Structure 1
Amino acid sequence: MGNIGWVQLLIVLVIVLLLFGGKRLRNLGGDLGSAIKGFKKAMDSDSDANKDAPPQKLEQQNQQQDNTSSETKQETTKEHNTVNKQ
């Protein structure tokens, strides 16, 4: 029951063709292809950038996280004190 046959696909294709028209479907197909190419290009450039960057040591990452969390705690305390004074 869940299988889609060629007859059902043909019916859907005819309905889509009637709704959008042939020229608009060609334009949509071209736009979709361009979007996919752009997405792949961005993914490839992102992975290339990650390969070129030297890996950080685990200690450096932990130290950065600790610094960020202590700064956040200090900012929260300052905001809390400011609210209490008002």
Structure 2
Amino acid sequence: MGFSIWQLAIVLGIVILLFGTKKLRNIGGDMGSAINSFKKAMKDGANDADSASDDKLESKDGKVIDAEVTSKEKDQA
């Protein structure tokens, strides 16, 4: 059920006739830049996630700070 080289050539010829080579070149360039920016964003996101997991609240002597924040309204009730 595969496509032969002749079927692909005919489809490519029809696409070129419909859109023209300049339009196809622009679409190809846009797709390439979109893929590159997506890959860059994925790499930046992975780097941000790695650096965020390394950040811990530590005091100057190296102890991890653990605290609970409460509001005054709850304490008075």
**Structure 1: gaps (5+ residues):** 56-86
**1:42 partnered with 2:44:** no
Q: Normalized per residue, which structure has more helix?
A: 1
Displacement over 2 Å in runs of 4+ = none
Structure 2 letter corresponding to 1:21? G
Cα deviation per residue 1:15-62 (whole Å; 9 max; x = unaligned)?
Answer: 10000001111111111101000110111100111111226xxxxxxx
Please, what is the CA RMSD of the aligned residues? Answer: 1.6
Matching of residue 32 in structure 1 with residue 28 in structure 2: no
1:4 — aligned with what?
A: 3
Structure 2: 5+ residue stretches without partners: 55-77
TM-score by length of 2: 0.65
Normalised TM-score (structure 1): 0.59
Match of 2:65 in 1: none
